[in-house]
Structure 1
Amino acid sequence: MRFRFLALAALLAANGPALVPSLTPTLAHAQQKLPLTLEDIWAKPTFRAAAVPGFNWMNDGRYYSALDAGSLVQYEVTTGKPVQTLVTAAELQLPGADKPLAVDGYSFNANEQKILFTTATEPIYRRSARASYYVFDRGTKKLTPLSTGGKQGYATYSPDGLRVAFTRDNNVYVTDLATMQETAVTNNGVKNNLINGSADWVYEEEFGFAQGFFWSPDSKQIAYYTFDESQVPEYDMQEWGGLYPKENRFKYPKAGEKNSVVSVSSYDVASARTTKMDVGPVADQYIPRVQWTQVPNTLSIQRLNRLQNKLEILHGDAATGKTKVVLTDTNPAYVEINDDLNYLAGGKQFLFTSEKDGYQHLYLHDMDGKQVRQLTKGNWEISAINGFDPKSGFVYFTSTEGSALQRHLYRIGLNGKGKQRIIEAGNGIDVVNMSPDTKYFLNTHSSAGVPAVVSLREGSSGKLVKTLEDNAKLKQTLAQYDLGKLEFFSFKTSEGVDLNAYMIKPSNFDPAKKYPVLMHVYGGPSFGTSSSQTVLDNYGGANYLWHQMLAEKGYIVVSVENRGTSGRGSAFRKATYANLGKLETIDQAEGAKYLGALPYVDKSRIGIWGWSYGGYMTSLAMTKNADLFKMGIAVAPVTNWRYYDTVYTERYLKTPQENPGGYDDNSPVQFAQNMKGKFLLVHGTGDDNVHFQNSIAFVDAMIKANKDYQTLYYPNRNHGIAGGNTRLHLYRQMTNFVTQNL
């Protein structure tokens, strides 16, 4: 369910320039620390972290580009200094307009003489959007709309830079940049019926992509998805505000229901000929990934059965549509889907990650799928493949080898030798953006309570080239507040399971006192190798600061990483398979008991809160372990897995027809009668992901059980519950609920 704490984290770690109020305290006040306020955290830019917007590597490994005050600037990698302004803001002003385009993003064509600028982006769901695209010719300085037929989606240059493909109204189009002539690749797209070139709702949410078309390396063909969603049931989400509510009906396959029938086709640009690829005779299956190999005319298609425990890699002839299975990966529970399939230059080998030895590791295969060798091994897992240098034969990857709480960059040779950590010093989390030739990488590093430092580094050595953003102003601002230290710890449960956790104590902590505790939980599995962990050695953004504000008010804040979460291998993550909620709830209860036994914790005042899967966990904790938790806040929770989508839910529970107990035995709805503590239930009525229906069902169950509760709903807000004053309002209500009831 990529509904999760990670989605919230993206909103919490706000990007953009650091705007810090000028603070010049007098000597008398120099020693006095400032109090944290909700307004500073959620409404003002006081704690906004700075980033490097619009960063892109250029063809020549010596340069990168980035947006700066509306202009596009080229920088030299080795110095980080600007070399030239590629496009000025003034050049992005259309005739008759009173100001330049407000650019959201950009991309270059192959020779970097044409630039595709994105503006007026309109989000649809989590990853999908439509926008207005403009082609800028650096030679003529001419700015031209890509299309005049309405907003476009996912406009992408062909590798040779001569054309741009895009989607509109469920169809795929190609524009020839020499003539600006637009050609329809498909013409049968119909809303809520048939989609070409884009993902349907459940693929976008659970397989992590929205763009569903792909240029071949030689620019001669476009492979694209078609989703026949005509048999998928519709969800009717009311939109409030007008005299009559508006219906927003979209296809949403709930667990056990029909999915889209998915096909893959190849379109030859020169002949306008379309070839349908053979994805097998079974319609009830998934095609989670499609990509071109380095072999001309050869398409790679990943095929996954509905139970998601068997993944096959198919190689297909784009001219004939014929395919063959070259590799099969199976697992007793489920197979992870990720973006780690990499075809190497020369067309003879590919890299693939699998957890067949219990951890996500890297394997080298020939083009027939035969394993050449396992490249990495150990009780740790790969988080991402960051790059490959064909000259040296080194693969660059991020992994948990140092700690499940951390992520660091390593490299290893195709011969399985020479593994080394690139940046030797320091703990924390490294997020790596490597140049195509692997000579340099952009590294975004943060650690517990420390905002991100963005730096340019040499690929082979990790040597610092230049720090692009150190967030010094934010660090200076944070130093003016009396923050408690975030401490990591672990403990062993009564079942002998070691669990990782963190604790934030008040800065004036007195071990002789008894403190109330608020536990924060997510607790669920995550898609692929992305992390669902809350216990990570990184800067926690606004949520971290809210927890610090509660610590300032005299609370200890704790998060416990239960079984079912990522970072510790297959056995730990898949222990919850077919029975979501059971072991996770046991582990959170063990955490509450462990904390309650500490001499400085008041065991009668332990609360818990969580969002999404964390809301589900909070609802279970407040009912199945009602004697342990005095209060709980559940935000946007699933309360019955029958209401959630096919891909996520069936991956972890099978279908409800096959495993009804897995759906019902740990549904909070079934335990509403056990509720004892103070409970706040929060949901956005416009949540396209975890439907408001979940909270309605739980409220109905609590009414039937004659249990007291409080609810807070946000009209038309989606799963992130954000926009305008929404977050400030939400966290004010949650703060009041904690202080009044814990």
Structure 2
Amino acid sequence: MKKLRIILFFTLLCYIPNLLLAQRLWTEDGGHYYEFSDNGIEIVNPINAQRTIFLPSAALVPKGQSAALKISDFSISPDKEHILLYTNSKRVWREETRGDYWVYQKKTNQLTQLGKTFPPSQLMFAKFNPQGTKVAYVNKSNHNIYIEDLATGTIKQITKDGTDRIINGTFDWVYEEEFGCKDGFRWSPDGNAIAYWKLDASTIRNFLMINNTDSIYSYTIPIEYPKVGQAPSACTIWTYQLTTDATTPVHVPGDAIQHYIPRMEWSLDSKQIILQQLNRKQNESKIYLVDVANNTHKNIYTETSDSWIDIKSRWNNNDPSGWDWIQNGKAFIWVSEKDGWRKIYQIDLMGNEKLITKADYDIINLKLMDTKGETIYFSASPTNATQNYLYSVSTKGGTPKRLTPAGYAGTCEYDIAKNGKIAIFDFNNHKEYKRNAVIELPNHKTLVDFSESLTKKSENGIAEFFKITTIDHIELDGWMVKPLHFDPNKKYPVVFMVYGEPASQTVLDNFGAGMNHLYQGSMAKDGYIYISLENRGTPAPKGSQWRKSIYRKIGQLNIRDQAMGAKEILKWPYVDSSRVAVWGWSGGGSSTLNLLGQYPDIYKTGIAIAAVADQLLYDNVYQERYMGLPQENLADFQNGSPLKYAKNIKGSLLYIHGTGDDNVHYQNAEVLINELVKNNVQFQLMSYPNRSHSISEGAGTSLHLKTLFTNYLKQHCPPGAR
């Protein structure tokens, strides 16, 4: 069930300052990058650390004000004469995608606010036309798209039908949550047209969250949320022609309600639109080319699967925007796992396909496509699914080459310059992390050594990796942190951290391995064995059979793998089978409940946070992707839901949920509570009023949650050797 996009990575990495690379804005020449500072916007030479002021802070002070704008992001017009500045940003769902935009004109040194007649912090995804003379943006308050002329300040409204339900140029909750789609419009390369998504969410029901604390009378917060089995928003693509002021729907075959369009872009000649269409069950993908002049379409590529087609795996930072063109727009790069491995292909505009990565292992992510150098950089780890390394392959195809030197065993992250010649390199594993080295590519020559490093303190425990084979002959990866002063002749309690669903891995060789951000103090000092196992169905680079074996079996296959792995661990002479605990958040919370209910003789204590109790209560895109349609296989949803097994729970259970969770609704807590009460299953409950899925809002919340977690674990699964 559900995913843990933010929570899980926070769990693993919260102790590591800036471990994950923040994406830098590299200059077009590739040798420098932009960075915000107290001086304004600076250009940094990563090799010699020289800094040059690109835009001084004094230029960021609006007329009549004394303080400079606090810039969240910026872009530069193609003619380099205008700088588009994003400020006063606010959250929409997960990210701060609405705010205010200003344009600084270098010739006149003028700073001008765009859309200043609109309410504050309501503009989204503003971007220059290719000529740098206009900026288009979405007004969040009415879901319409506007074009503003930079010379005259004239604003042209190009969509007129936007409402809270007719969404132009951006997306509804579920498209953003499950496809990563946020920016919903594209300038044509010639600047004469805009193509955009239109979502009609008029049939999507609101889920009502209730706020009881912020006023004398409670009030509801509506969240437009399509539940499993409910039809999604109708999705169409439209074009707007600047010369004729004509707005036209793009002809895409099929029922607009029973499909998804997660990717769309212009061809480089501005004559065609290319898009990917998924059917409702997400097991058929079609790529269409649409001739804009006559509005005719051509299906150039079709892929089907007996489970699902993973369209997210190839994107970095969960961002599907853009299209990976090669050969001057005559072909593009595509990623598919149709032959059992996630590989890179070339597809031309006639639909002819060519395999690029001629090796039987998974790529993890595309990192950069250097079209001039005819090189594709990507991450992979063919022999160890817990690690991550940099590889390259020619755009013409061939055997990939590992670029990361053998001395770096663990997780290697690269922020590669646009020209593909240098990169900022971060390295970490379960013992250490290092960051901010500058390397030369493709030879991986070190130009500047790491500027920061951190070694894990042994007194907090250091993870060790292992493999275990279950009675079903399934080999699982795992990490374990043993107690300090470990005595193999004594018995210790074991605490399992679980996730278990197709959205995330837990067993990764990074600096966060073995850490528990919810535990106050050190589990190793206190005498716990802390373990995580990676079951089938998680997105490990072990081939599609590993990942997709969970199809229609979430809550069953993953739960059996975890339990059978635990059974093998309980055979270890130093594990106390009377003190076995499990905890997880979101998908991990669901797995925790399922483990307690399906295998009550193994797990004695559980702490489940923000879990989906009934798979029918989660969103349609995620749950139907991995489980099918409940109209066709309802029993699979029921058999995988913790609700079915709640009556079997024998051990101690602490359940935690935020009442303001717009992702996994508090409704799940209440249906679970009813089932536990009906069957006289005793448990403890902590509800955090108005907290979201991360349970992070409000004074004292994080400390309270940590204290609650730690005290409960110590009380019901006492630490220490016996």
Q: Is the 8 A contact 1:488 1:500 kept in 2?
A: yes
1:433-472 equivalences in 2 (<5 Å):
433-467=415-449, 469-470=451-452, 472=453
Task: Kindly indicate whether residue 180 of structure 2 is the aligned counterpart of residue 208 of structure 1.
Answer: yes
1:125 alignment partner, SS class: coil
Q: Tell me, in whole angstroms, the C-alpha distance in 2 between the residues paired with 1:289 and 1:709.
A: 45
* Equivalent in 525, 535, 539 of residue 507 of structure 2: 535
Q: Tell me, in whole angstroms, the C-alpha distance in 2 between the residues paired with 1:626 and 1:335.
A: 35
Task: Kindly indicate whether residue 351 of structure 2 is the aligned counterpart of residue 374 of structure 1.
Answer: no
One-letter identity of the residue aligned with 2:220: E
Q: CA deviation at 1:8?
A: 3.8
1:180 alignment partner, SS class: coil
Distance 1:667 1:274, change over 3 A: same
One-letter identity of the residue aligned with 1:354: S
Distance 1:546 1:721, change over 3 A: closer
Q: CA deviation at 1:594?
A: 1.6
One-letter identity of the residue aligned with 2:667: Q
1:325-340 equivalences in 2 (<5 Å):
325-338=299-312
Q: CA deviation at 1:98?
A: 4.1
Q: CA deviation at 1:535?
A: 0.3
State the partner residue of 1:222.
194
Q: Tell me, in whole angstroms, the C-alpha distance in 1 between the residues paired with 2:211 and 2:413.
A: 38
State the partner residue of 1:94.
62
Q: Alpha carbon RMSD of aligned pairs, Å?
A: 2.1
Percentage of matched positions with identical amino acids? 34
One-letter identity of the residue aligned with 2:614: N
Q: Tell me, in whole angstroms, the C-alpha distance in 2 between the residues paired with 1:190 and 1:541.
A: 46
State the partner residue of 2:487.
510
Task: Kindly indicate whether residue 158 of structure 2 is the aligned counterpart of residue 185 of structure 1.
Answer: yes
Q: Is the 8 A contact 1:51 1:469 kept in 2?
A: no
State the partner residue of 2:27.
58
Report Cα offsets for 1:360-393 as digits up to 9, x if no partner.
101112211111x212244421121222233332
State the partner residue of 2:500.
523
Q: Tell me, in whole angstroms, the C-alpha distance in 2 between the residues paired with 1:524 and 1:130.
A: 31
* Equivalent in 607, 612, 629 of residue 581 of structure 2: 607
* Equivalent in 704, 707, 710 of residue 732 of structure 1: 707
Distance 1:153 1:271, change over 3 A: same
1:383 alignment partner, SS class: strand
Q: Which runs of no fewer than 5 residues in structure 2 stay unpaired?
A: 316-322, 718-722
1:195-344 equivalences in 2 (<5 Å):
195-240=167-212, 241-283=214-256, 284-338=258-312, 342-344=324-326
Q: Tell me, in whole angstroms, the C-alpha distance in 2 between the residues paired with 1:465 and 1:143.
A: 38
Q: Is the 8 A contact 2:479 2:513 kept in 1?
A: no
State the partner residue of 1:144.
112
Report Cα offsets for 1:23-81 as digits up to 9, x if no partner.
xxxxxxxxxxxxxxxxxx7xxxxx64478767210122232111123621111244232
Provide the TM-score with structure 1 as the length reference.
0.90
Q: Is the 8 A contact 1:402 1:408 kept in 2?
A: no
Q: CA deviation at 1:129?
A: 2.7
Q: Tell me, in whole angstroms, the C-alpha distance in 1 between the residues paired with 2:302 and 2:435.
A: 41
State the partner residue of 1:419.
400
Range that drifts further, 174-183 or 329-338: 174-183
Q: Is the 8 A contact 1:607 1:632 kept in 2?
A: yes
Q: Tell me, in whole angstroms, the C-alpha distance in 2 between the residues paired with 1:353 and 1:697.
A: 40
Q: How many residues align?
A: 698
State the partner residue of 2:125.
154
One-letter identity of the residue aligned with 1:427: A
1:657 alignment partner, SS class: helix
One-letter identity of the residue aligned with 1:157: F
1:482 alignment partner, SS class: helix
Distance 1:468 1:109, change over 3 A: farther
1:533 alignment partner, SS class: coil
Distance 1:602 1:521, change over 3 A: same
Q: CA deviation at 1:414?
A: 2.8
Q: Is the 8 A contact 2:659 2:666 kept in 1?
A: yes
Q: CA deviation at 1:299?
A: 1.1
* Equivalent in 390, 397, 403 of residue 378 of structure 2: 397
2:630 alignment partner, SS class: coil
Q: Is the 8 A contact 1:411 1:422 kept in 2?
A: yes
Q: Tell me, in whole angstroms, the C-alpha distance in 2 between the residues paired with 1:54 and 1:336.
A: 24
Distance 1:245 1:619, change over 3 A: same
Range that drifts further, 346-355 or 384-393: 384-393
Q: Tell me, in whole angstroms, the C-alpha distance in 2 between the residues paired with 1:189 and 1:683.
A: 35
Q: Is the 8 A contact 1:8 1:720 kept in 2?
A: no
Q: CA deviation at 1:459?
A: 2.8
Q: CA deviation at 1:162?
A: 2.3
Q: Is the 8 A contact 2:462 2:514 kept in 1?
A: no
One-letter identity of the residue aligned with 2:152: T
Distance 1:11 1:154, change over 3 A: farther
Task: Kindly indicate whether residue 674 of structure 2 is the aligned counterpart of residue 705 of structure 1.
Answer: no
Q: Tell me, in whole angstroms, the C-alpha distance in 1 between the residues paired with 2:167 and 2:622.
A: 21
Q: Tell me, in whole angstroms, the C-alpha distance in 1 between the residues paired with 2:290 and 2:467.
A: 49
Q: Is the 8 A contact 1:633 1:679 kept in 2?
A: yes
Task: Kindly indicate whether residue 604 of structure 2 is the aligned counterpart of residue 627 of structure 1.
Answer: no
Distance 1:234 1:91, change over 3 A: same
Q: Tell me, in whole angstroms, the C-alpha distance in 2 between the residues paired with 1:362 and 1:234.
A: 40
State the partner residue of 1:722.
696
Q: Tell me, in whole angstroms, the C-alpha distance in 2 between the residues paired with 1:545 and 1:175.
A: 47
Distance 1:116 1:725, change over 3 A: farther
State the partner residue of 1:33.
none
Q: Tell me, in whole angstroms, the C-alpha distance in 1 between the residues paired with 2:467 and 2:20.
A: 33
Report Cα offsets for 1:551-570 as digits up to 9, x if no partner.
22111110000111012121
Q: Which runs of no fewer than 5 residues in structure 1 stay unpaired?
A: 15-40, 42-46, 527-531
One-letter identity of the residue aligned with 1:447: N
2:437 alignment partner, SS class: strand
Distance 1:418 1:5, change over 3 A: closer
State the partner residue of 1:80.
49
Provide the TM-score with structure 2 as the length reference.
0.92
Q: CA deviation at 1:460?
A: 1.8
State the partner residue of 1:166.
137
2:545 alignment partner, SS class: helix
Distance 1:52 1:382, change over 3 A: closer
Q: CA deviation at 1:695?
A: 1.0
Task: Kindly indicate whether residue 82 of structure 2 is the aligned counterpart of residue 108 of structure 1.
Answer: no
Distance 1:644 1:250, change over 3 A: same
1:542-561 equivalences in 2 (<5 Å):
543-544=515-516, 549-561=522-534
Report Cα offsets for 1:555-599 as digits up to 9, x if no partner.
111000011101212111111111211111111111221221111
Q: Is the 8 A contact 1:685 1:714 kept in 2?
A: yes
One-letter identity of the residue aligned with 1:266: T
1:658 alignment partner, SS class: helix
One-letter identity of the residue aligned with 1:513: K
Q: Tell me, in whole angstroms, the C-alpha distance in 1 between the residues paired with 2:478 and 2:191.
A: 50
Q: Is the 8 A contact 1:233 1:258 kept in 2?
A: no
State the partner residue of 1:69.
38
Q: Tell me, in whole angstroms, the C-alpha distance in 2 between the residues paired with 1:238 and 1:251.
A: 14
State the partner residue of 2:332.
350
Report Cα offsets for 1:595-646 as digits up to 9, x if no partner.
2111111111110000111000000011111111110111100110100111
State the partner residue of 1:38.
none
Q: Tell me, in whole angstroms, the C-alpha distance in 1 between the residues paired with 2:336 and 2:667.
A: 37
Q: Tell me, in whole angstroms, the C-alpha distance in 1 between the residues paired with 2:437 and 2:83.
A: 26
Range that drifts further, 282-291 or 446-455: 446-455
Q: Tell me, in whole angstroms, the C-alpha distance in 1 between the residues paired with 2:366 and 2:682.
A: 49
One-letter identity of the residue aligned with 1:618: T
